[in-house]
Amino acid sequence: MDQLQLTDFLRYRFLAQPKFAPDGQRAAFTVTNCNEEENCYETRLWLWEAGRLRQLTDLGKESRFFWEDNTHLLFPAVRSKAEQKRQEAKEEFTSFYRLDVTGGEATHAFTLPFAAGTLYHVAGPRYLAEGSIDAAWPDYYQMDQAGREAVAKAYQENQDYEVLDEIPFWFNGQNFVNKKRNALFACNIETGEVHRLTEPLFSLDSLAMVGETAYFLGEAYEAKPSEHSSLWVLEGDALRCLNPKLPTLGGQLLAVGGKLLLLGSEGLRHGLNENDYVYTIDTETGCLSLLRAEEENMYSSVGSDCRYGGGEPRQARGEELFHLTTRWGNSHLYRLSPDGSSHPVVTKDGSIDSFAVSPATDTILLVAMFDCKLQELYTYDLASGNLQQVSHFNDACLAGKYVAQPQALRLESCGLEVEGWVLLPKDFDPSKSYPAVLDIHGGPKTVYGPVFYHEMQLWANRGYFVFFCNPMGSDGRGNRFADIRGHYGETDYRNLMDFTDAVLARYPQIDRKRLAVTGGSYGGFMTNWIIGHTDRCACAASQRSISNWLSFYGVSDIGYRFATDQCDGNPFDSPEQLWAHSPLRYAKSAVTPTLFIHSDEDHRCPMAEGMQMYTALVDRGVPARLCYFRGENHELSRSGKPKHRVRRLTEITDWIERYTK
């Protein structure tokens, strides 16, 4: 079989956002590919109907869409020269185009005078729309051309400065967000009337339509958002607060069978990572009633570097709520009944990444990674239970290539059952000796599973054993297993080392002196932790990591909440607690040659975290290298610019081979 190449991912196609038309007879979805020459991604709309697939658009910029009716799609785009000119002038607007899926070209439908997000249909030409605003100019959408030019001039004159007066002041993938808010607008697409409904400092979090009535979560804040949202209802054009302070930490509203549900957790038992309970909301009083005390999550957290775009993890059908859920290393589809009982629907090993349920037939459309293949489209029949692959977008990409099949390995560690997998090297010969890579997932509340992961498959194709597991702190095993607050680097570290020992025992062909370790985010934290606690690795590659919880508290977009929650302490009353769980504290013991990967717009794990650890190693004479990416954020390995993703994987692979080949 041929060898998988580092740049093969540039030919993969990524599927996302399946949505059925209101009559349930057809569904649209997006297909994305890399454009290496332009160093970008191209996304197009496709249609599934009567078992056949058809491409709908070809400009490569159609990344979002909404069904207007049974045969028409609305999608935002910049197509005309006038729109391009407005975009170049950094004017805020969103033009929507209408496409008849039965045939014909897309035509301009309407333009909203703000940066619009999700649209919600109310009735006839009336819509609600989420939109980004700057609280300094909350009525920008009403300004004439002269007013907009004045705002643009003010931005230009102040482009060298950032004034901060609230937290979080930046956010991963968005840069500075000081005084930026997600507002709610009422729009009439026939008359062009637009009205902002929420006050300038209000930020909308979640909205659900029950019939023609909108309910939403959010709050107005100045210096810092609170941990609890308020519940609002839109009655005509008037807003009314139903509940000024919900007991949950945020949450999501869902309309199911004419009822209003809330998915949210109080965080009292397991902190910020606690899985959501399901509540029903009295739409008159705003009071909550517990429907299901759910201990598992209701989304997919199975990792892969072969996705682009998203999709809803939950969808109502009649009185039932269909939802994804992570169970051990797989993501399955379940349904929640009106009585609060939960029932499995599709439980095939692998990852269901997104789905759509037909409102009129027994068909469910799945975007999934099954059988260690890349994403494809599948149909599932609720009546017969038949699961069928209906697309072949990626068959040619892997045809004739070696794809290592994950070999399951479970063991007991610290009184816990730990699940993991091993990929065997290409052309494996039991009589030969091989290097190996331990890959650690992020989160920590995510999982690895038996799915296709390009970087791991690449290393297996280059002659490495690759192994990975889900230590304590991972998802898929309930709240208690995921809760490592105040104990980072303890049981989770021991689980990883015990798993490594088990892999070495099962596969004596692995050369213990040629072992590498890598990981990103929490995996980067743990890589930093490992090199400070053992010298068993020949080299390490720490990506978008945490090295110092004390600094992370003040510079990460989630630091002031996440660091205190996960460390079970704060910099003022218990700084020793944060320092005790910081890898930087143990850097004096590190001797492992280490590569650091960080990005200048990663505000989740800012570059200062990697730089501190890098400096500590170089200062103490340990071989180290830092590759710093401009214009990238925390998602570099998954959705970074194609050429940057090539460089990142080249850096890591070259570093590992330098010390293990």
Q: How does DSSP classify residue 246?
A: -
Q: Is the pLDDT of residue 71 over 90?
A: yes
pLDDT band at 370 (very low <50, low <70, confident <90, very high): very high
- β-pairing, 510-520 vs 238-243, is unpaired
Q: Which of 644, 648, 525 is nearest to 587 (CA)?
A: 525
Quick one: which of 5, 8, 52 has its CA closest to 33? 8
Burial of 117 (0-12, 13-18, 19+ CB in 10 A): middle
User: Token pair for residue 571?
Assistant: 């910099």
- Residues facing residue 320 across a β-bridge: 317
Q: Could you tell me the pLDDT band of residue 446, with boundaries at 50, 70 and 90?
A: very high
| DSSP conformation class of 556 | S
Segment 314-359, tens digit of pLDDT: 999 999 999 999 999 999 999 999 999 999 999 999 999 999 999 9
Cα separation values, 311 from 75, 258, 408, Å: 15, 23, 29
Q: Tell me what pLDDT residue 237 has.
A: 84
- Residue 64 belongs to what H/E stretch? none
CA dihedral 13, 16, 21, 22 (to 10 degrees): 170
For residue 250, the model assigns a pLDDT of 85
pLDDT for res 602: 98
Q: Tell me the CA distances in angstroms from 307 to 102, 379, 653, one per residue in order.
A: 29, 19, 21
Rounded to an integer, what distance in angstroms lies between the CA atom of residue 142 and that of residue 396? 51
Both structure tokens of 11: 């030919």
3-class DSSP state for residue 312? coil
Contact 73, 56 (CB under 8 A): yes
Reduce the DSSP state of residue 498 to 3 states and report it: helix
Q: Note whether 141 and 113 are within 8 A (CB).
A: yes
Kindly state the percentage of the chain with pLDDT values over 70.
Answer: 100
Dmax over CA atoms of the chain, in Å, equals: 77
pTM over 0.95: yes
43-71 mean pLDDT? 97
418 contacts: CB under 8 Å, gap ≥ 6: 410, 411, 412, 469, 470, 471, 472, 495, 498, 499
Burial class (CB in 10 A: 0-12, 13-18, 19+), 505: exposed
Q: Where on the phi/psi map is residue 76: left (φ > 0), alpha (ψ -120 to 50), or beta?
A: beta
Amino acid at 323: H
Q: Is 406 helix (H, G, I), strand (E, B) or coil?
A: coil
Nearest residue to 247 via CA among 206, 204, 217: 217
Which domains can be identified in the chain, with CATH numbers?
402-660 (3.40.50.1820)
Q: Rounded CA gap, 229 and 204, in Å?
A: 9
- E strand or H helix at 327: strand 320-327
pLDDT tens across 236-289, in order?
A: 889 999 999 999 998 999 999 999 999 999 999 999 999 999 999 999 999 999
Is residue 357 within 8 Å of 318, Cβ to Cβ? no
Instruction: With beta carbons less than 8 A apart as the criterion, state whether 518 and 570 touch.
Output: no
Residue corresponding to tokens 């009295």: 282
Element (H, E) at 70: none
pLDDT for res 48: 98
Q: Which helix (H) or strand (E) holds 210?
A: strand 202-210
Residue 582, strand partner residues: none
CA 261 to chain centre: 23
Question: What confidence tens digit (pLDDT) does each residue in 140-177 have?
Answer: 999 999 999 999 999 999 999 999 999 999 999 999 99
d(CA 457, CA 372): 10
Convert the pLDDT of each residue in 189-242 to its tens digit: 999 999 999 999 999 999 999 999 999 999 999 999 999 999 999 988 899 999
Q: Among candidates 409, 417, 525, 408, which has minimal Cα distance to 478?
A: 417
Q: What is the pLDDT of the chain when averaged over all its residues? A: 97
